Amino acid sequence: MAKKKVILDRTVDAVTTRDEKEAAGAKARLVREAVQKRVAEAKAKAAEAKEKAAEARAKAAEKAAAGVEAKSARRERERQMQERAEAKRHIKAKSRVYVVKSGDSLSKIAKEVLGDASRWPEIFEANKDKIKDPNRIHPGQELRIP
């Protein structure tokens, strides 16, 4: 009987070890799956972070481009304003000055200087700062002729 007991003990030990090995293997599988799950989550978070970083870079690039466009537009407006001011100065410098004589009217001046009496409103518009009423001009007034 002693021999049977030894064999049974060995069998039980073998079975017990097998169960423990299976349990250890299952536990290792669970641990491995948990680790793989964590790795997958970490990769997903890293990918999401990369996406957010790319979006942030794109937004920053858009802001920079918008800033450059705004500067360019501002410079263009300033250049156009300078051109207009220069054109106005050129027109003023180019315009002639007529000194009103006794008996003159805007239509008479327009006929003499511009060749057409109906162009008197041009003279009036050019001298609105000096002439309040187009029917009343005074000898000695200096009028710009456009």
Q: Choose among 124, 105, 108, 125: nearest CA to 116.
A: 108
How many Cα neighbours within 13 Å face the side chain of 77?
6
99 bridge partner residues? 142
The tens digit of pLDDT for each residue in 50-108 reads 999 999 999 988 888 888 888 889 999 999 999 988 887 777 666 688 999 999 999 99
Q: What is the pLDDT of residues 110-134, one digit of tens each?
A: 999 989 999 999 999 999 999 999 9
What residues have CB less than 8 Å from 143, skipping those under 6 apart? 97, 98, 99, 100, 109, 123, 126, 127, 130, 131, 137
